[in-house]
């Protein structure tokens, strides 16, 4: 699969404004693609976290007062969590925001394409870093049959090396899958 075709399929206008029409807290994540074989970075949260303990997610977090917009939130949180400085110029698009019903977040996923990932320095919010081949991961999609995960109608899972990806992260991956399937890239 040509990384350039995937990049083109995921390119969209970037609208990072922090608008909140609900009672949910606003958050943003960064979906980083790199390499000639499209690879993404995901993180495993420590089991001791208050929110999303032990889950597999994209780097990101909650909008803070000084951020100004959600893209700044995604960039700031990625630097805090992984020690990676991402330029706004590397951001090529965004997905539709995803809402978590159990923790009350509306999450804006931004997409970045990088030639390579510099060395990562995870902070205490990260138990491990996963470098996941995108196309192999997308082939693992299944409906989420865990009744404790069924807080909304559409729930999916993906699997990578014994890790289960579900919830908001899986719904973001599903959006990517739909875009790639529509262009017959998967």
The CATH number for 21's domain is: 3.90.79.10
The closest of 149, 28, 133 to 91, measured between CA atoms, is 28
User: What are the φ/ψ torsions at residue 165 (nearest 5 degrees)?
Assistant: -110, 120
Tokens read off for 133: 């081949």
pLDDT tens digits, one per residue of 64-108: 989 989 999 999 999 999 999 999 999 999 999 998 877 788 999
Domain that holds residue 84: 3-133
pLDDT tens digits, one per residue of 147-157: 665 555 568 89
106 domain-assigned: yes
Q: What is the mean pLDDT of the chain?
A: 89
142 domain-assigned: no
186 domain-assigned: no
Structural domains of the chain, count = 1
What's the whole-model pTM score? 0.91
């Amino acid at each position: 699969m040509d990384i350039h075709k995937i990049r083109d399929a995921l390119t969209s206008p970037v609208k990072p404004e922090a608008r909140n029409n609900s009672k949910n807290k606003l958050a943003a994540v960064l979906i980083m693609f790199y390499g000639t074989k499209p690879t993404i970075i995901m993180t495993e949260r420590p089991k001791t976290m208050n929110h999303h303990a032990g889950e597999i997610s994209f780097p990101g977090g909650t909008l803070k007062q000084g951020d100004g917009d959600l893209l700044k939130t995604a960039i700031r949180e990625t630097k805090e969590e992984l020690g990676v400085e991402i330029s706004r110029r590397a951001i090529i698009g965004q997905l539709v925001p995803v809402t978590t019903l159990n923790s009350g977040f509306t999450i804006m996923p931004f997409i970045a394409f990088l030639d390579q990932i510099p060395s990562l320095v995870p902070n205490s919010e990260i138990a491990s870093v996963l470098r996941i081949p995108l196309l192999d991961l997308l082939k693992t999609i299944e409906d989420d049959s865990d009744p404790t995960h069924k807080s909304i109608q559409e729930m999916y899972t993906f699997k990578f090396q014994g890790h289960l990806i579900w919830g908001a992260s899986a719904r973001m991956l599903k959006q990517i899958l739909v875009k790639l399937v529509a262009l017959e890239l998967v």
